[in-house]
Amino acid sequence: MQSSSDWLTTQPVKRRRIGLFEITLMALSLAGSMAMTVEASEQEYPDVIEVQVNAREQNVFDFDVTVSSPYDTPDRYADGFRAMSRDGVIYGERKLFHAHSSEQPFTRDMYGVFVPAGVVVVVIQARDKAHGYGGKVVEVALPRR
C-alpha cells in the first residue's frame, strides 16, 4: 500500500496553461499597484481633496478645506492652504503649525475671507513645509454669485 506522501509524488502534475489575456491582466494589476505605491511615497505636495464654502456676508466667505498629506512628518507636513483667483491673486491664507499624522486626511477652516465682487470661482491650494505650494487644487464656485 502506498503512503499518502508516495501517492503525491507518483501522480502526474496537472498544469494549466496561462493565456495571454491572463498574463496581461496580472501585469496591469502589478503595474497599477506599483504606480500607486510610487505615487504615494513620492508625493511632493499635499493635495486639496474637498472644499465646502459658505457665504458669511456680502463678499466674505468661510471655507472648510480637506487636505491629504500622506508623508506627514515633523520636518515635512502640510503647513497651510490658501484661497486665490485662477490667475494667482491671493484672497486668504491659513497657516497650520503642527503635523496631522494621526488625522489623514484632515479638515480645517478658514473664515472671513474677502473675495471681490465679480469673482465667481476660487482656487484652493495647500502647501508643504519643505516645498511650498503645489499639489492638487480644488476650484470651488462661490455661493450667491
Q: Does pLDDT of 36 surpass 70?
A: no
- Cα four-point dihedral sign 2, 6, 9, 14: positive
Domain boundaries, the chain: 47-141
Q: Of residues 6 and 53, which shows the higher confidence score?
A: 53
Average pLDDT over residues 54-82: 90
- At residue 35, the pLDDT reads 42
The mean pLDDT value for 8-16 works out to 50
Residue 111's DSSP bridge partners are: none
Encode pLDDT of 70-97 as tens digits: 776 777 888 999 999 999 999 999 999 8
- Do 95 and 109 form a contact (C-beta atoms < 8 A)? no
Q: Is the pLDDT of residue 49 over 80?
A: yes
**In this structure, which topology does domain 47-141 adopt according to CATH?**
Immunoglobulin-like (2.60.40)
Residue 40's pLDDT band, with cuts at 50, 70 and 90, is very low
pLDDT of residue 98: 79
Query: Strands, DSSP E only, in 21-120?
Result: 47-57, 60-68, 78-84, 90-95, 106-114
- Comparing 65 with 97, the larger pLDDT belongs to 65
Per-residue pLDDT, averaged over 117-134, amounts to 94
Res. 145 pLDDT band, cuts 50 70 90: confident
